[in-house]
Copies of this chain bind each other. A is one copy, B any other.
Amino acid sequence: MARRAETIELAVLGLLHEAPMHGYELRKRLNLMLGWGRVLSYGSLYPTLKKMLRASLIEETLSTKTPGTPVSKRPRITYQVTEAGTREFERLMSEVGPTAWEDDNFDIRFAFFSSTDMEIRLRVLEGRRTRLQERLERVQSQLSLTQKEVDRYAAELQRHGVESVEREVEWLSGLINAERNGVPQQTSNETAPAIHGAPSTKPPATPAAEQAK
């Protein structure tokens, strides 16, 4: 699953961009965010954090919590983004191209869309939509070729998969429209109206993937 590492990095940068926190919480937020399927393990997160530290994308602050520090408190570590980290975050967020709209990557980028401007958002949303449409075409053309005796259950699975992706496309279309018709996107505090009513669905577990994560 090659390209996951970058994804985690981006997510970490994005979360720390909002507020400093420590590894444990980072993991929780991450799992909530992209955790519809597999869950990120500590064995994956902590090494990534160390790596990012070495690359100076983030910094750590050790806290000893209680004032009268006895001796050997194992310190809790709070991470913050550095300036370099912020720049890297911005660089990654303004990337347009396949890496931005592949399954895992897309979700993370979307979650932090507030940190980019509309142009980028539109391009990513459209790229993603095109990606899914290609997928649909490919599958549908292949299906018509193989159309020999299709097993009932296998066919139902396919049907459901197609339906899910189609719904996802509709969702994206709704979002694209909302962006274009300038849904107020500035941080006018609360009362955020639903971005758009469009129905939706990611191909969740069923068609073989929870593309999201």
State the A residues within 8 Å of B (CB).
Answer: 1, 28-29, 32-38, 103-104, 106-107, 110-114, 128, 132, 135, 139, 142-143, 146, 151-157, 160-161, 163-165, 167-168, 171, 175, 185, 192, 194-196, 199-212
Contact = CB atoms under 8 A, between A and B. Distances in A.
B185 A37 contact: no
How many copies altogether?
2
Contacts of A171: 160, 206
Contact of A201 (B32, B146, B167, B212): B167
- The A interface, classified by DSSP as helix, strand, loop or mixed, is helix
Contact of A103 (B135, B153, B205): B205
Contacts of A201: 160, 163-164, 167
14 contacts: A37-B103, A38-B209, A103-B205, A104-B209, A110-B156, A110-B157, A111-B151, A112-B153, A113-B153, A128-B205, A153-B195, A155-B192, A164-B164, A167-B201
Nearest to A162: B36
B32 A107 contact: no
Contacts of A33: 154, 157, 208
Nearest to A146: B32
Nearest to A200: B160
Contacts of A152: 114, 185, 192, 195
Contacts of A143: 32
Nearest to A189: B149
A96 B111 CA distance: 36
